[in-house]
Chains A and B, each alone.
Chain A
């Protein structure tokens, strides 16, 4: 058993919260810069330039990339040979969120009671925290400050089992089409196919941690990802929906075996400020 102090998890989460909200991942910035050269709309190019300039200003002046510093989504992959000491792991993560959002001057965006008294909890807790038990003796902390604009465009639907790939393509395209400028395109799109309803959405979210250009190892799924990316970019939505050929930077699909009656499809959209940050303890 390897011992990992809860305080170390707290410190890590606090650091990741600040880094994720200020430094755009390099792969995302590179993809946006590349899109500048393929984009056909001059107005869209102007939008892309502002996005690139924003990333530079954020990093140089330590200002959050976006004022929506999100719901703190944290996925912990905990090795089964790890023993967390000195506190409950979930409390440790929430303490890290509290600290990071306070010390980083990040916006607190969590309403305590969703359908009644929408009073701000004041410290951006609780985070949405997922834990997974994995082999080994490490703890992988995956942090995503998830903005409301894109998260609110998530969709789930179960299709008839025989509807196949076309149902997935149509559903993803329709989701992007009706979302328009709300989720802040150019987008990164996570798609979960199979499993059950919650499994599909969880896969869609998890897929958003991939690097731009990183294909699913299964060739059939990788091909679907490429078809989806092309179909979405033909929609004409464009950066900030001003019209253009860059609607998405990438589409990531993860799959899981499913029930004989089902074809679950979940779409979780990420904005161009595709903020994620990982650490391994």
Chain B
């Protein structure tokens, strides 16, 4: 493994300041899982002025819906899901103090701008490596929306969970920079992005 920056949660502004795109990082400490259905509910709670089931300040959310654990196991396969699907919910989460996100794939322009504005960081874990990532999850406990099953909010204790900084608080965008660097195609880079995934 190449040089890696070891992060512990919750994240502080100083630490986030030092992160730039393309840096390999590892997370240790507590992170929370949430994906489509849990985000939808949290936004509805915010809109009604009700408290959220977790205090987002300084926290990291991991976009994942794990497979069920085998008997005696902590969790099943647990890799990242497509982040762009969560774009419509992300800005209020950042407003509420969320500092770190782990997912896969790129973010839309509004979220990229918000990550910079709210001094946060978006990291990608390698999609489709849920078996490998399982080994870095030491405990898992459902803390909200249990009825959502795989989509419930879980509190995970992780150790050296690997990821790559994709959008930093300085406005850097790894996916855009990477594509430019390795593109030999004469085709212009499209300005539109696909939705969801």
Contact = CB atoms under 8 A, between A and B. Distances in A.
Nearest to A57: B131
Interface stretch (A90-98, A179-187, A203-211): A179-187
B181 A236 contact: yes
B81 A63 contact: no
A240 B79 CA distance: 13
Contacts of B192: 178
Nearest to A47: B126
Nearest to A104: B67
A146 B182 CA distance: 29
B67 A69 contact: yes
Interface stretch (B46-54, B69-77, B112-120): B69-77
A220 interface: no
B67 A65 contact: no
A139 interface: no
A150 B78 CA distance: 17
Contact of A64 (B67, B162, B181, B197): B67
A38 to B, nearest CB: 12
Interface string A226-247: 0000010011111011111100
Interface stretch (B5-13, B93-101, B171-179): B171-179
A114 B1 CA distance: 42
B95 to A, nearest CB: 25
Interface size class of A (residues with CB under 8 A): 35 or more
Interface stretch (A3-11, A105-113, A125-133): A105-113
A182 B128 contact: no
A149 interface: yes
A177 B190 contact: yes
B2 interface: yes
Contacts of B162: 50
A216 B131 CA distance: 34
B5 to A, nearest CB: 14
A219 B127 CA distance: 35
A268 interface: no
Interface in B163-197: 164, 166, 174-175, 177-185, 187, 189-190, 192-194, 196-197
A273 B174 CA distance: 23
A174 interface: yes
Given A57-B135, A236-B179, A243-B179, A149 B194 contact: no
Contact of A153 (B64, B76, B185, B197): B197
B174 A182 contact: no
B128 A272 contact: yes
A118 B183 CA distance: 40
A188 interface: no
A67 B76 CA distance: 8
A243 B126 contact: no
A243 B134 CA distance: 26
A258 interface: no
25 contacts: A47-B164, A53-B129, A63-B76, A63-B130, A66-B79, A67-B78, A69-B77, A107-B67, A148-B82, A149-B127, A180-B193, A181-B175, A182-B82, A182-B194, A182-B196, A184-B127, A231-B185, A234-B184, A235-B185, A236-B185, A238-B178, A240-B104, A241-B178, A243-B182, A272-B128
Interface of A: 40-43, 46-47, 50-51, 53-54, 57-58, 61-69, 105-109, 118, 120, 147-150, 152-153, 173-174, 177-184, 231, 234-238, 240-245, 271-273
A-B CB proximity, top 3 nearest: A243-B178, A182-B197, A236-B183
